Amino acid sequence: MTENERVRYVPLKEAQCRVHGRTDKSQDPLPLFWNGSLVEVNVTGSELWIDLEVDYENYEPWAGCDINGAFLSRQMLMPGRYRLCLFRGMDPKKVKNVRFFRELQAMSEDDANHILIHGFATDGAFQPVPEARYRLEFIGDSITSGEGTYGALEEVDWISMFMSVSKNYAVMTSRALGADFHLLSQGGWGVLCGWDNNPHNNLPFCYEETCGLLHGSVNEKLGAHKPWDFASWQPDAVIVNLGTNDASAFHQPVWTDPATGESFEQHLETDGSWREADIERFRQAVIAFLKVIRKNNPKAHIVWTYGMLGYELTLPITEAINRYRAETGDGNTVFLQLPNTTRETVGSHEHPGAKSHERAAGVLTEYLRTVLEGV
């Protein structure tokens, strides 16, 4: 008996599927924009296939699959529309929880990069997927994109293969707390500027769009630049992990826009200290972003985390948070230092490895549990 004779096709909208991550749910097929974006189903049957449509120019998307909470597979996706088998040969009577997720961050440097979900094929039946107890939103850079969590220590290539959510502190924290999550991250970006002083590469500028860091007509048609409907998904906590690339910018040469001649630079004084005007510009960016987050998430507990790749900007970040709290009276915003990455916990590309993410997740989980559960 062939696959087509064993299974029936079910369009995504008929599969009682829960969609996680910022996306435009009116789209058919459904785009998975951000890392950690996923479709989740509860299904009986002996096998399940997912109907995908994939494309890219430079950086191939990677995806993974969990079954009943256990990580089962991770693979590079090739261009085209095709069906991918998620499981087969399992007990047809038992309900399986299946989560198919995007491993790779949203790719601002590849206009064609996308994963679209059309539907499923199965010999079973779909059942409702219940809501989780909590909702967490994570905003970050390459750390939150999981860069360095796969690959040998000597790997330095900046490629899709070495980024992930399957070994990611944000996902580890969410699982420990039984929470749904949204991830918004981009390697090399900051709260004021990117690692190379590029002032356009900051997460605040795209925070209020569905996935505003993407470019090109394809992503425009998929709804990436639509205003995000914050009322549709209000997090219990927003966790920001930014500042690492802003620190790097102080050690890089001036950035000049080749098209306009615009230049930008964060300076160090001759004694190695920050130039006060530039560090104040960074503080103001932190304060401004906190105001934007609070405006859109009025009840969320905001946690600004920092430290997995050094503590250089710890003081300016905490100063900015304290000034924000004093100015606004918002006592529901705090700073939390995460453990630095060591020789024993480093991964590829000189980024935090899986052990570093585990340590960070432990600290963050313990803290959020006291906030969310009151213990």
Q: Are 339 and 363 in contact (CB under 8 A)?
A: yes
| Total number of domains constituting the chain | 2
% of the chain with per-residue pLDDT over 90? 97
Q: H or E element: which one contains 234?
A: none
Provide the token pair at 347. 């991964």
**CA–CA distance, 231 with 222 (Å, rounded to integer):** 21
Partners of 140 in the β-ladder: 185, 241
Give me the long-range contacts of 321-326 (CB less than 8 A, separation at least 24): 321/286, 321/290, 323/283, 323/287, 324/286, 324/287, 324/290, 324/291
Q: Are residues 200 and 339 in the same domain?
A: yes
The pLDDT of residue 181 is above 80: yes
Phi-psi category of residue 218: left, alpha or beta, with phi > 0 → left and psi -120 to 50 → alpha = alpha
194 vs 225, 310, 352, CA distance in Å? 21, 16, 19
Which of 127, 148, 180 corresponds to the end of one domain?
A: 127
Q: Which residue has the tokens 């693979």?
A: 75
Instruction: Decide if pLDDT at 182 tops 70.
Output: yes
For the stretch 147-171, pLDDT in tens is 999 999 999 999 999 999 999 999 9
HSE of 218, CA atoms in CB hemisphere, 13 A: 18
- pLDDT tens for residues 311-327? 999 999 999 999 999 99
Chain segment 231-262, per-residue pLDDT in tens: 999 999 999 999 999 999 999 999 999 999 99
Q: Give the torsion through C-alpha atoms of 238, 23, 95, 13, to 10 deg.
A: 150
Q: Mean pLDDT of all residues in the chain?
A: 96
- Span 33-53, pLDDT tens digits: 999 999 999 999 999 999 999
In a shared domain, residues 163 and 97: no
Q: Within this chain, do residues 146 and 99 fall inside the same structural domain, yes or no?
A: no
Map tokens 């920001």 to a residue.
Answer: 240
Residue 375 has a pLDDT of 59
**Structure confidence by residue, pLDDT tens digits, 90-148:** 999 999 999 999 999 999 999 999 999 999 999 999 999 999 999 999 999 999 999 99
Domain final residue, candidates 127, 161, 180: 127
331-353 exposure pattern, b = at least 16 Cβ within 10 A, e = fewer: eebebbebeebeeebbbbbebbb
Residues 123 and 138 in one domain: no
Q: Do residues 115 and 138 share a domain? A: no
Final residue in a domain of this structure, among 78, 112, 127: 127
Residue 209: which domain range? 134-372
CATH classification at residue 327: 3.40.50.1110
Q: Check residue 6 and give its pLDDT.
A: 80
Asked if residue 143 and residue 123 are part of one domain, the reply reads no
Is the distance from CB of 27 to CB of 223 less than 8 angstroms? yes
Shared-domain flag, residues 44 and 155: no
pLDDT band at 291, cuts 50/70/90? very high
Confidence label for 5 from pLDDT (cuts 50, 70 and 90): low
Percentage of residues in the chain with pLDDT exceeding 70? 98
Angle at 373 between CA 363 and CA 300, to 5 degrees: 80
Measured CA to CA, the distance from residue 134 to residue 174 in angstroms comes to 9
Residue 4 has pLDDT above 80, yes or no: no
**356, two tokens:** 């570093």
Asked if residue 190 and residue 72 are part of one domain, the reply reads no
Residue with tokens 């998904």: 233
Helix (H) or strand (E) holding 118: strand 114-122
Mean pLDDT value across residues 203-211:
98
Is pLDDT above 60 for 205?
Answer: yes
DSSP codes of every residue in 17-82: -EEESS--TT-SSEE--STT-EEEEEE-SSEEEEEEEEE-SSS--EEEEEETTEEEEEEEPPSEEE
72 and 195 share one domain: no
Q: Is the dihedral of CA 31, 35, 37, 43 positive or negative?
A: positive
Confidence category of residue 1, pLDDT binned at 50, 70, 90: very low
Strands 134-140 and 179-185 come out as: parallel
288 and 163 together in one domain? yes
pTM metric for this prediction = 0.97
CA angle 97, 118, 213 (to 5 degrees): 95
How far is residue 348's CA from residue 152's CA, in Å, rounded to a whole number?
6
Same domain, 167 and 305: yes
- Other beta carbons within 10 Å of 48: 27
Q: 327 has which bridge partners?
A: none
DSSP 89: S
Give the chain's count of helices (H) and strands (E): 7, 18
Give me the CATH number covering residue 108.
2.60.120.260
Tell whether 100 and 222 lie within a shared domain.
no
